Structure 1
Amino acid sequence: MSSASSIDPQRIGFLFNHDELHQVAHIAPIISALQRQAPTARVEVITSSERQAEAVRQFLDPALPTPAFWSIRPNRWSRLAENMLGKMVPLNRLSSLKRSTDLFRHFDALVVPETTTTFLKKNHPSDRPKLIFFPHGAGDRSIGFSPEISLFDYVLLPGEKTRDRMLEAGVIRPDNHCIVGYPKFEAYVSRPPVKLFDNDKPTVLYNPHFDPLLSSWFRFGEQILDHFADQTAYNLIFAPHVMLFQRKLLASVEHRLLKFRQRIDPRYAALDHIHIDTGSTRSVDMTYTSAADIYLGDVSSQIYEFIQKPRPAIFLNSHDAKWQGNANYEHWNFGPVLDDIADLGPTLEAVSPLSDPFRAAQTRAFAHSFDMDSRESPSQRAALAIAEFLALP
């Protein structure tokens, strides 16, 4: 572990380097907690857009000194190249990292919510800065346990499930991680629920992922919107993963697959019982997982945020997955799994109220996925873990 200097305080940067805002709430609450935990350290923020910077500021404690903010915005050439490639390759993120290596060397550690930052270890091997990782979500997809995680110096985890799978995959060691809980829950715990519809009908959240192999949108999306457009018994929130509609051509590095994303017919948005959101802040702040009565989706980690309060869930097997007994689809045990959209109507009628076996599965999985220690908040626990790892006074 690194030792604190008696002359220069250690510098810890919270790095946000993504096109969208869905990763911010996973580590931003830790910033003020670390300022309180280690007041002699210099806690700073690094962002790649003004939208990110503004989102981070919303989580800062106004009673504490405002951290220094640094910008690593991508240059125009990387933006042009990424656009020409249909945004299939994260050239903006990689460009921002490459051009900012001199800045990063001035930091003792960087706290990050995504794995692209391991570029710094692959291309500029060095003990400085240390890389501290907190995954943005607690889902089951295999990408969440990828070999890149082994390049991090320290890993903060939401619960036992992620720890166990990372240990099994060999991407963390017994001595380089700590379970701290889920700061995103803390970030929105006191926010009142939002009423989206002027009626008391049950509300379904359709939340497809963006991965071109795993997402139900490409095969079933239009049929699902048609189903809800042609009935009036349910409200529908269509709020996919924010990355689904940021690109016309979707690429899966994990599955080596490309697919063009179809557009949404504007007639759906004109209906009073359908609410469409393809990427606002409400898509990432648990507004919709809190407002819905029934979850409809495929592989998004948002299902784990939804089951904080157990409720009916339906899953769509659009890619003929052999999912039983597969840890990458553990969440498909929380409700019925459909291979055919013709079964959607009858399943919606049968899924409520939530059956005891599905309730038990959700409750067990939530407890395994999130360590909900009531004595200290997740941000406090994360700040303490970081301070101990870096030997901050």
Structure 2
Amino acid sequence: MKVGFLFNHDALHQIRHTAPVIAEIVRYPKVEAVVLTSSLTQEREVRALLGVAAEQVRFVSLNIGKTAAALDRALRFIAPFRRIATLRENLAEFAALDVLVVPETTSLLLRDRFGLDHPKFVWIPHGAGDRSVGFREVMRGFDLVLLSGAKVRDRMLANSLITPENHVIVGYPKFDTIDDAPPTRLFDNDRPVVLYNPHFDPLLSSWYTMGADVLRWFAGQSDFNLVVAPHVMLAQRRVHASVEHRVVRWRRDVAARYRRLPNIHVDMGSDASVDMTYTRAADIYLGDASSQIYEWIARPRPALFLNTTGAAWEHSADFAHWHLGEVIDGVEALPVALARAAREPERFRAAQEAAFATTFSVTDQSASARAAKAIVERFGGGA
């Protein structure tokens, strides 16, 4: 059985959600693992995560023609043109697979738009957040969905996005990439470190309307350090458009003066922004819609959320994570909220522990091993 793992994105943030499964699935002697990447950067990252297991994997580089490449250079800061072109121009590679494992939903275009009726499609979501975009009708197209825990499972079942038969709860493979080493020390002082982790969604993100004010406030005080590490896709494009919310925003750069300050560290997309370096090392979370809050609560700590649109969030499943910390409406409330978070670090511990337990299934077996087993049992290729 040929099982392909596709990595076809502008950034690296999706890789750790499925790559660990590769190292487990190669243990099955009747499975041939194929890694398909659309850039050398993606391939290098997968190889680094796999280590010696990479020797048991066949790597395929997916290329696009000169016309598509030229269009991508012109459009890459506006639309994901290359991703779709990569699917369209490499149909033969996908058709040779029995199973294709992906961390996103765009790959269903292979079947729905390009007429490929083979392979079977397996989805491992890249995150366990609450945004409505994570619960769309397109998800009904997968043959098997591997989920982190009961929270996501229950919401998908309630919306008929999955069936009792086509999903398995396996846990969160990304956690398998984290070792037991102490968190990285981010600054050369003992001040509390605040992680500002805005999303790129043009409606929900605080970056477009409050980001400059957040940086200005932290630049003018000396009680806290600040790590600015948005969702990696924020820096990938200059213009962000949400088809779901019908909103378009222009991303402004971080002013150079903030990058020179000793108490502010700006990271617009390095490996550290996707490998949980900051979510493990910081003391207080400041965000809006990013699913990284659920990685943050693996070790309960204070969290603050910026309500940029005055959303009525209290009874909305899309904002369930806002019950894991204090919600504030603007930067003017930040000083008091930060002081309270530092003074009462246990305030939301119970809520965070409960949310973690329902969001992530944890057993004696790793999530990656559980995912590999689920794929093999569903589609064959067992020992």
Structure 1 residue 193: Cα displacement: 1.7
Tell me the equivalent position of 2:19: 28
- Structure 1 residues 345-354 or 171-180, which shifts more? 345-354
Number of equivalent positions:
382
Residues 1:381 and 2:370 aligned together: yes
Tell me the equivalent position of 1:4: none
Q: 1:137 to 1:354 in 2, by over 3 A?
A: farther
Distance in 2, matches of 1:251 and 1:46, equals: 28
What does 1:181-200 correspond to in 2, within 5 Å? 181-200=171-190
Residues 1:121 and 2:111 aligned together: yes
Distance in 1, matches of 2:349 and 2:260, equals: 35
Tell me the equivalent position of 2:380: 391
Output the TM-score relative to the length of structure 2.
0.97
* Runs of 4+ with deviation above 2 angstroms: 63-66, 73-89, 124-127, 189-192, 352-357
Distance in 1, matches of 2:126 and 2:75, equals: 26
Tell me the equivalent position of 2:146: 156
Tell me the equivalent position of 1:12: 3
Identical pairs, percent:
48
Q: 1:86 to 1:15 in 2, by over 3 A?
A: closer
Structure 1 residue 86: Cα displacement: 5.6
- Structure 1 residues 116-125 or 44-53, which shifts more? 116-125
Tell me the equivalent position of 2:34: 44
Distance in 2, matches of 1:342 and 1:63, equals: 51
- 1:138–1:301 contact (8 Å) kept in structure 2: yes
Structure 1 residue 321: Cα displacement: 1.1
Secondary structure of 2:340 counterpart: helix
Question: Which residue identity is paired with 1:217?
Answer: W
Return the structure number with greater helix share: 2
Distance in 2, matches of 1:190 and 1:113, equals: 25
- 1:201–1:234 contact (8 Å) kept in structure 2: yes
Secondary structure of 1:314 counterpart: strand
Structure 1 residue 392: Cα displacement: 1.5
RMSD across aligned positions (CA) = 1.4
Output the TM-score relative to the length of structure 1.
0.94
Structure 1 residue 13: Cα displacement: 0.5
Q: 1:324 to 1:47 in 2, by over 3 A?
A: same
Distance in 1, matches of 2:227 and 2:65, equals: 36
Tell me the equivalent position of 1:3: none
**Is there any run of 5+ residues in structure 2 with no aligned partner, and where?**
none
Structure 1 residue 83: Cα displacement: 4.2
Distance in 1, matches of 2:202 and 2:54, equals: 43
Residues 1:254 and 2:236 aligned together: no
Residues 1:303 and 2:301 aligned together: no
Tell me the equivalent position of 1:55: 45
Question: Which residue identity is paired with 1:383?
Answer: A
Tell me the equivalent position of 2:227: 237
- 1:311–1:354 contact (8 Å) kept in structure 2: no
Secondary structure of 1:58 counterpart: helix
Q: Deviations over 1:64-96 (max 9, x none)?
A: 733110011344433432443463321100000
Distance in 2, matches of 1:51 and 1:61, equals: 16
Distance in 1, matches of 2:79 and 2:265, equals: 31
Question: Which residue identity is paired with 1:23?
Answer: Q
Distance in 1, matches of 2:39 and 2:63, equals: 6
Secondary structure of 1:137 counterpart: coil
Structure 1 residue 191: Cα displacement: 4.1
Structure 1 residue 170: Cα displacement: 1.2
Secondary structure of 1:65 counterpart: helix
Structure 1 residue 353: Cα displacement: 4.3
Q: Deviations over 1:25-55 (max 9, x none)?
A: 000000010011x212111100000000000
Tell me the equivalent position of 1:109: 99
Q: Deviations over 1:98-139 (max 9, x none)?
A: 111111111001000011101012124454100100000000
- 1:220–1:341 contact (8 Å) kept in structure 2: yes
- 1:74–1:93 contact (8 Å) kept in structure 2: no
Secondary structure of 1:114 counterpart: coil
